[in-house]
Amino acid sequence: MHYTCPSCAAINRIPEDQQQKLQAQCGRCKQPLFNGHPVELNDSNFQRFLLKNDLPVVVDFWASWCGPCQMMAPVFTQLCGQMQQQMRFAKVNTEQAQQTSAQLGIRSIPTLIVYHQGKEIDRLAGALPAPQLQQWLQAALNKIH
Ligand SMILES: [Zn+2]
């Protein structure tokens, strides 16, 4: 299974075995691949990240001035720690990645989009508490499998 390194973006081939997978390190920079933190994406690496990861990807589109985004950030990181073996968690700062945000028609923030192999699976506008957000993510995963 292919998995891009959250530290250096190198493409790694990782084992399917659950235990081995969690301990996997990047072949290039030797950092842990499952570090429990969302990956920051921008206009230049967004498409590559979607296409080079075999796991589904959930992206949080946010902005520094957005109150609900600030409230949801720790929830998103918490769920990343819990669900990182099932899906990748990524964040896009819409003030910096203006091209990507415009292309995707992001009109309100926070907006969350789940992708699988580059295709949009589901989209959510607005923040949710952790249990509801986890349910929404699980429902999106169920659409894929
Ligand atoms: Zn690396």
pLDDT tens digits, 136-145: 999 999 999 7
Count CA within 13 A, CB hemisphere, residue 92: 28
Q: Which one from 8, 26, 29, 69 is the annotated catalytic residue?
A: 69
Q: How far away, in angstroms, is 49 Cα from ligand 1 center?
A: 14
Residue range 9-13: average pLDDT?
95
Structure tokens at 145: 């499998």
Q: How far away, in angstroms, is 127 Cα from ligand 1 center?
A: 31
Q: How far away, in angstroms, is 32 Cα from ligand 1 center?
A: 8
Torsion of CA 122, 35, 64, 113, to 10 degrees: -10
What's residue 145's pLDDT? 73
| 8 belongs to the catalytic site | no
* Residue in the structure block whose two tokens are 């609900």: 68
Predicted TM-score (pTM) of the model is 0.95
What whole-number distance in Å separates Cα of residue 121 and Cα of residue 119?
A: 6
Q: What separation in angstroms does the CA of 63 have from each of 3, 35, 101?
A: 27, 23, 11
What residues flank ion ligand 1 with Cβ within 5 A? 5, 7-8, 10, 26, 28-29
Please name every residue paired with 57 in a beta bridge, in sequence order, or none if there are none: 88, 115
Residue 18 scores a pLDDT above 90: no
Mean pLDDT of the chain: 95
| 69 belongs to the catalytic site | yes
Residue 28 scores a pLDDT above 80: yes
What whole-number distance in Å separates Cα of residue 41 and Cα of residue 46?
A: 6
Longest dimension (CA), the chain: 41
Residue range 115-122: average pLDDT?
96
Q: How far away, in angstroms, is 87 Cα from ligand 1 center?
A: 18
Share of the chain above pLDDT 90, in %: 92
Share of the chain above pLDDT 70, in %: 100
Q: How far away, in angstroms, is 33 Cα from ligand 1 center?
A: 8
What's residue 15's pLDDT? 87
Give tens-digit pLDDT for 42-98: 999 999 999 999 999 999 999 999 999 999 999 999 999 999 999 999 999 999 999
